[in-house]
Amino acid sequence: MELTRRDFAKLGTLSLAARFAPVLNAQAAPKKKIGYAVIGLGRIADHFLPGAGLTSNSKITALVSGHRDKADRIAAQYAVPSGSIYNYENFDEIAHNPNVDAVYVALPNSMHAEYTIRAARAGKHVLCEKPMSTKVAEAESMIAACKAANVKLMIAYRCHYEPTNLRAIRLIRDGALGQVQAIESSFGFNMGPNEWRTNKKLAGGGPLFDVGIYSLNACRYLTGEEPAAISAYASTIDHDARFAEVEENVAWTMKFPSGILATCSTTYGANMPGYYHVHGSKGWLQVDNAFVYEGLHLRGFVNGADIDEPNPARDPSHFVAEAEHFSHCIQNNLQPKSAGEEGLRDMQYITEIYRSAGISI
């Protein structure tokens, strides 16, 4: 059998996941694939759509878009019938579509709450992109709506399901670094003009909502703790149209109950490859490209030896893993690893970071 490059990448991802992720019951009888309606057909959806198609338990069964021509084109690729294409006005009719079990919310940040709540009321499980919302109260309403409708809510924190990040967590938990003392992390990029992300009404704020949240969340899953104290600063250096409504840079520190200190930064003004570096009493580890779709690389000194572990998996492997997990949870009535409460906590910390930096959100 000849393998394509995509087949090889998928096998690489699955083999790594088998090493570091919980083992599922291989004897379980095959279950019906979970049908997803993708809400919003922008750039992030372009990764989820093929990712879901590569899983063993998920499929695309509906689309929601304000651009019918684009929706028709994508529907043809995924064999979605024309009757399962919705717009934002008739979205609630999805309640009557038995082929839709769950939705994937891939909309601008400020729309996450509305469509999560509408989907829950339609009886559909919800996989929502991060950040969960733009306000703490919205996140709380999303959780309440899903509980009231008895549907599951998962926030799409890809790194919780990605083998290199799971490997770093396991090394720390196993004591391979000794006592962790400090963490540094950053992620940012040079934002182009006319992006919806610089519209505060749509985005909620600047780079912290978009990419800084990865560093925030990573410090939490690496330590296994919640920050006890936060201090932050924000600045705008390039006073151009991109930053008329949102800040350009945010930097913050966190102190965890154990005493671990974390220093993080994010920007829309420079290319800042996502990474984290963990300092321990007996060693260190660093993951380069930690938050992007491919090219992740774990290096360090642990257990008295150097490690160098590049990850060969390619996009859309992260989206395969998160869709596989959520569908498995739906099929087996399990709580998702990154449930709504995880997103709510990050919203609470983002609010605290902005408050410390003197920015109103």
- Please, which residues bridge with residue 264 across strands? 185, 252
| Active-site hit among 115, 157, 161, 214 | 214
Determine the distance from the C-alpha atom of residue 67 to the mean position of all C-alpha atoms in its chain, rounded to a whole number.
25
Q: Which amino acid is at 330?
A: I
The answer to whether 214 is a known catalytic residue is yes
121 burial level (CB within 10 Å; 0-12, 13-18, 19+): middle
- Please, which residues bridge with residue 125 across strands? 102
| Active-site hit among 10, 59, 124, 130 | 130
Determine the distance from the C-alpha atom of residue 358 to the mean position of all C-alpha atoms in its chain, rounded to a whole number.
27
CA distances (Å), origin 184, targets 88, 315, 352, 358: 41, 26, 19, 23
> How many C-beta atoms lie closer than 10 Å to residue 1's C-beta?
3
> How many C-beta atoms lie closer than 10 Å to residue 261's C-beta?
16
Distance CA 129, CA 45 (A): 10
Distance CA 117, CA 113 (A): 6
The answer to whether 78 is a known catalytic residue is no
Tokens 């019951």 -> residue: 25
> How many C-beta atoms lie closer than 10 Å to residue 293's C-beta?
17
**Residues assigned a catalytic role:** 130, 214
